[in-house]
């Protein structure tokens, strides 16, 4: 058992109002159809995120680049946003030692610090720029479309710094982008910057196992082969239409039934592991941007994902999960073995408030608290499930990532939406282009100007 999904507490047999056995068995044909359609999408090259696990050529792009710059840089900075950043942040938090960027080089095995600038707040960017030595910094500009305003703005600012310092930029930049489309390709050529590929059939939020996540991970010394092997193992495990044997299909079906048949419109993702806290943010983007859609028949669908962290959020959001509206499922992620553990010492046998803790350990406390919270939620008819992984390492994380990506793709089929597009973010982008004067945004300018203006009656 390397990864197991226990969904007992999602079912009516354990939780009042949970999924009934007839709903579950009744979903089998929908799941078979979803599986078949997803296979077609993969076979016809529309969805490429599964194939990437066996793409040695693509992996070599990252490994060769990382080898060629070994020892040259103290800092690596990813410039990217959304799917171009969240996966790397999740990998960094899960697989690099705690406080990586603050560790001395020897404790980092001589590997560089790894920063991810996933926003355009000038305060953050200026602070980081002030701290870096330009000749010893590598900037990885990541954009699938090669034209995202935030990422291109960051690039322009950093590039100008190099120009002002008289440093030719080619050696301090790498681009990760679509093999053909977008502004980064021609820029790479004119600047002599190396450009790595994001396969055309993989979109941002499904791209963590391409050079988007693999290049920064390889530079920081993460075992990227193990990451991909774990993902490949999970992809093989999920290559069946049988719900009982396919954890990704099971996860998608549980959430889809809970949402559409039981009003569970919110999907809380709650790992009991600091190492996995940023995986929750990555999952939130994946689930939200893939499934929150208008269907062809005009209906609006999609479960709202919410990130939480155990045990911390037991003292915060869990109150809402227990007694607030009955509109949530909770996905716990349990870790069986921790890399280290700390035991609680005794010494206060007469103080009942602490004496019972003596002899127990923090890993045990995490595990007990997860089970206690899951049980308490079930007791209050709040459905929840637990994904248990053996340990947080590259192999298991790869498996977990693939499980969640596949589940999202299946859920797209079950909801009847395209999980791989994001038309809903377009209008806001167009309005921003309109205000910034981007050529070609004349229609957006008109639409923007026709919007109601701020109204003094409604301001305070
Ligand atoms: O998942 C997605 O497609 C988005 O979140 C993108 O990753 C995000 O908009 C950034 O796009 P790009 O990689 O084209 O710069």
Report which ligand 1 atom has the smallest distance to the Cα of 85: 7
Return the best residue to mutate from 47, 79, 83 for the ligand 1 pocket (most ligand atoms within 8 A of CB).
Answer: 83
Cα-to-centroid distance, 134 and ligand 1 (Å) = 27
Assess contact for 140 and 174: CB atoms under 8 A.
yes
Cα-to-centroid distance, 144 and ligand 1 (Å) = 6
Residue 45's Cβ-count burial label (10 Å; 0-12, 13-18, 19+) is exposed
Say if ligand 1 is within 6 A of residue 282 CB.
Answer: no
Report which ligand 1 atom has the smallest distance to the Cα of 203: 3
Q: Which helix (H) or strand (E) holds 175?
A: strand 173-177
**What residue owns the CA closest to ligand 1's atom 12?**
143
460 residues of the chain, pLDDT tens digit each: 589 999 999 999 999 999 999 999 999 999 999 999 999 999 999 999 999 999 999 999 999 999 999 999 999 999 999 999 999 999 999 999 999 999 999 999 999 999 999 999 999 999 999 999 999 999 999 999 999 999 999 999 999 999 999 999 899 999 999 999 999 999 999 999 999 999 999 999 999 999 999 999 999 999 999 999 999 999 999 999 999 999 999 999 999 999 999 999 999 999 999 999 999 999 999 999 999 999 999 999 999 999 999 999 999 999 999 999 999 999 999 999 999 999 999 889 999 999 999 999 999 999 999 999 999 999 999 999 999 999 999 999 999 999 999 999 999 999 999 999 999 998 898 999 999 999 999 999 999 999 999 999 999 9
Query: Given 289, 293, 328, 396, which residue is catalytic?
Result: 289
Question: What is the token pair recorded at 444?
Answer: 């957006």
Say if ligand 1 is within 6 A of residue 151 CB.
Answer: yes
Say if ligand 1 is within 6 A of residue 84 CB.
Answer: yes
Helix axis angle, 426-436 to 442-450, nearest 10°? 100
Report which of 235, 267, 266, 264 is spatially closest to residue 248, judged by C-alpha positions: 235
Cα-to-centroid distance, 397 and ligand 1 (Å) = 22
DSSP one-letter code for 268? E
Question: What is the token pair recorded at 366?
Answer: 């995490």
Report which of 249, 133, 144 is spatially closest to residue 206, judged by C-alpha positions: 144
Question: What is the token pair recorded at 447?
Answer: 């639409």
Please give the C-alpha separations between residue 235 and each of 54, 96, 214, 240, 391, in angstroms, as whole numbers: 11, 25, 18, 10, 19
This prediction's pTM: 0.97
Q: Is 337 a catalytic residue?
A: no
Say if residue 420 is preceded by a cis peptide, omega within 30 of 0: no
Residue 105's Cβ-count burial label (10 Å; 0-12, 13-18, 19+) is exposed
Q: Is 159 a catalytic residue?
A: no
Question: What is the token pair recorded at 304?
Answer: 């709202």
Q: Is 289 a catalytic residue?
A: yes
Return the best residue to mutate from 49, 80, 81 for the ligand 1 pocket (most ligand atoms within 8 A of CB).
Answer: 81
Say if ligand 1 is within 6 A of residue 178 CB.
Answer: no
The C-alpha atoms of residue 105 and residue 80 are separated, in whole angstroms, by: 25
pLDDT of res. 169: 87
Q: DSSP letter string over 88-125?
A: HHHHHHHHSPTTGGGS-GGGGTTPPEEEEE-S--HHHH
Say if ligand 1 is within 6 A of residue 202 CB.
Answer: no
Q: What domains does the chain contain, in order, with CATH numbers?
A: 3-41+228-415 (3.40.50.10490), 51-222 (3.40.50.10490)
Say if ligand 1 is within 6 A of residue 213 CB.
Answer: no
Instruction: Map tokens 């040259």 to a residue.
Output: 72
Return the best residue to mutate from 145, 155, 202, 283 for the ligand 1 pocket (most ligand atoms within 8 A of CB).
Answer: 145
């Amino acid at each position: 058992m390397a990864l197991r999904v226990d969904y007992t507490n999602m079912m009516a047999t354990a939780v009042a109002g949970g999924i009934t056995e007839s709903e579950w068995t009744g979903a089998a044909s929908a799941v078979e159809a979803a599986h078949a359609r997803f296979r077609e999408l993969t076979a016809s090259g529309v969805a490429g995120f599964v194939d990437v696990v066996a793409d040695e050529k693509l992996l070599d792009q990252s490994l060769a680049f990382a080898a060629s710059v070994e020892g040259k840089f103290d800092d690596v900075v990813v410039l990217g946003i959304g799917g171009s950043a969240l996966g790397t942040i999740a990998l960094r938090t899960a697989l690099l030692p705690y406080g990586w960027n603050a560790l001395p080089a020897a404790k980092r095995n001589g590997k560089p610090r790894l920063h991810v600038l996933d926003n355009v707040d000038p305060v953050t960017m200026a602070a980081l720029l002030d701290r870096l030595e330009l000749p010893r910094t590598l900037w990885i500009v990541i954009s699938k479309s090669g034209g995202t305003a935030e990422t291109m703005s960051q690039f322009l600012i950093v590039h100008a710094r190099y120009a002002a310092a008289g440093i030719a930029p080619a050696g301090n930049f790498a681009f990760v982008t679509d093999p053909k489309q977008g502004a980064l390709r021609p820029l790479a050529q004119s600047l002599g910057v190396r450009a790595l590929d994001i396969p055309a059939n993989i979109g941002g939020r499904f791209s963590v196992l391409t050079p988007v996540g693999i290049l920064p991970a390889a530079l920081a010394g993460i075992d990227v082969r193990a990451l991909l092997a774990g993902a490949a193992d999970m992809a093989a495990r999920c290559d069946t239409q049988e719900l009982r044997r396919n954890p990704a299909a099971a996860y998608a079906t549980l959430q889809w039934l809970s949402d559409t048949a039981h009003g569970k419109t919110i999907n809380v993702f709650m790992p009991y592991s600091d190492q996995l806290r940023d995986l929750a943010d990555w999952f939130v983007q994946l689930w939200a941007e893939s499934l929150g859609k208008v269907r062809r028949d005009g209906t609006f669908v999609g479960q709202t994902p919410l990130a939480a962290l155990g045990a911390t959020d037991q003292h915060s959001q869990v109150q809402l999960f227990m007694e607030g509206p009955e509109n949530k499922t909770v996905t716990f992620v349990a870790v069986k073995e921790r890399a280290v553990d700390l035991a609680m010492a005794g010494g206060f046998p007469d103080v009942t408030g602490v004496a019972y803790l003596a002899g127990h350990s923090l890993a045990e406390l995490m595990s007990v608290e997860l089970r206690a919270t899951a049980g308490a939620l079930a007791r209050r008819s709040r459905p929840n499930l637990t994904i248990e992984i053996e340990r947080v390492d590259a192999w298991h994380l790869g498996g977990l990532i693939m499980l969640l990506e596949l589940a999202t793709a299946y859920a797209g089929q079950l909801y009847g939406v395209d999980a791989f597009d994001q038309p809903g973010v377009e209008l806001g982008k167009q309005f921003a282009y309109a205000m910034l004067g981007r050529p070609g945004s004349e229609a957006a300018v008109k639409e923007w100007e026709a919007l109601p203006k701020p109204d003094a009656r409604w301001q305070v």
